[in-house]
Amino acid sequence: MSGFSWLIQVIEVLVALLAAPLFAGWIAQCRAVLQNRTPPSIWLPYRNIRKLLAKEAVLAEHASPLFRIAPYIVFGTMICAAAIVPSLSTNLPFSNAADAIALVGLLATARVFMALAAMDVGTAFGTLGARREMMVGFLAEPALLIVIFVASLISQSTALPTIADRLATEAFALYPSLAFTAVAFALVLLAENARLPVDNPATHLELTMIHEAMLLEYSARHLALMEWSAALKLFNYACIGMALFVPWGAATTEMPTAPALILAIPVLALKLLVSGAVLAVAETAFAKLRVFRVPELLATAFLLAVLGLLVHLLLQG
């Protein structure tokens, strides 16, 4: 049994790794359709990564070793995060070693390394991007933590698969606290993944960039890893959201058999298709905020999450 769950663990990581660029491609397609543009191929992110991997890497003269290892660390932490987040099954052995608080810490590690690498070459855009990314991060991270706390109070566990498992298998109940936290989580997702009201993933105007400004000095395989990590991060966030708010469909501990797992794959695909389309609609509907309005947006997310916590304690405490 244990061997089987480790197999599921590995399958899940591989699915995340391979499907993440596809998810990014799907969102780009939806956005293009909504904006009356000819959509790019859904396989474009893969081609991009393949192209970048094959190129010769150029490093700035005074880049330190930290700059070179940062893409690998960021990519490694994102794979690791994919191992904690339940997307296909809620019976993940690795999640004992790292609960949801550790997941938040893992995402913070990736962010800190990315910001440090951006400061390493010492360009104006790099430090600007690092500063803005850390600004977004320090508001989004506690909001995410509180969102997770609400779910852990409901399910008496801080392990994400267990949370999803209990939410999916217990008798259906409406949690008003989860409604607040869902809104908070959606805002955090947009901010942390450099999506539209906060950052424009398609921008070419350096002064408005956050995420892209940090990657300006990267090229070839390092850039490929950074882009793949960004896609993985978005995929992970989408899966965290589904684990917390629509946990049904994944294979649970009650039925961790092969058929359930096979059934879980199309369910996951469907959820991702829908959430990607919703994300594209949201991104088309919002206009980009000025950088100094971003803290207000995230403070709203943080307060909504705290409100969710209070609502939970008032109603269920």
Restricting to residues 223-242, name those near another protein by CB under 8 A. Answer: 225
Among positions 4, 14, 41, 96, the unique one binding another protein when judged by CB under 8 A? 96
The single-letter code of the amino acid at 282 is: A
Among positions 16, 25, 48, 132, the unique one binding another protein when judged by CB under 8 A? 132
Among positions 32, 42, 53, 183, the unique one binding another protein when judged by CB under 8 A? 53
Residue 208 or 284: the one with the smaller Cβ distance to another protein is 208
C-alpha closest to that of 217 among 66, 104, 95: 66
Residue 67 — φ and ψ, nearest 5°?
Answer: -65, -35
d(CA 317, CA 313): 4
* Residue located via tokens 């919002």: 286
Helix (H, G, I), strand (E, B) or coil at 251: strand
Q: Is 102 in the site for another protein (CB under 8 A)?
A: yes
C-alpha closest to that of 310 among 144, 140, 142, 149: 149
Among positions 86, 89, 120, 178, the unique one binding another protein when judged by CB under 8 A? 120
Residue 89 — φ and ψ, nearest 5°?
Answer: -135, 150
Residue 58 or 262: the one with the smaller Cβ distance to another protein is 58
Residue 62 or 259: the one with the smaller Cβ distance to another protein is 62
The binding track of 152-171 with respect to another protein, each residue x by CB under 8 A or -, is: xx--xxxx--x---------
Residue 40 or 221: the one with the smaller Cβ distance to another protein is 221
How far is residue 243 from each of residues 119, 162, 185, 212, 302, measured CA to CA in Å? 35, 10, 12, 29, 20
Residue 29 or 193: the one with the smaller Cβ distance to another protein is 193
Segment lying near another protein (by CB under 8 A), choices 102-110, 169-177, 242-250, 277-285: 102-110
How many other CB atoms are found less than 10 A from the CB of residue 43? Answer: 12
The CA R_g of the chain, rounded to the nearest whole Å, is 19
Segment lying near another protein (by CB under 8 A), choices 62-70, 169-177, 190-198, 232-240: 62-70
Segment lying near another protein (by CB under 8 A), choices 139-147, 244-252, 265-273, 279-287: 139-147
Segment lying near another protein (by CB under 8 A), choices 38-46, 71-79, 264-272, 276-284: 71-79
How many other CB atoms are found less than 10 A from the CB of residue 205? Answer: 8
Residue 29 or 90: the one with the smaller Cβ distance to another protein is 90
d(CA 247, CA 165): 7
Q: Which two tokens mark 140?
A: 């989004």
CB of 42 to another protein, least distance (A): 24
Residue 114 or 264: the one with the smaller Cβ distance to another protein is 114
CB of 19 to another protein, least distance (A): 17
Q: Is 284 in the site for another protein (CB under 8 A)?
A: no
Burial 76-110 (b: 16+ CB within 10 A, else e): bbbbbbbbbbbbbbbbbebbeebbbebbbebbbbb
Among positions 12, 24, 48, 125, the unique one binding another protein when judged by CB under 8 A? 125
Helix (H, G, I), strand (E, B) or coil at 98: coil
Restricting to residues 190-209, name those near another protein by CB under 8 A. Answer: 206
Q: Is 183 in the site for another protein (CB under 8 A)?
A: no
d(CA 248, CA 252): 9
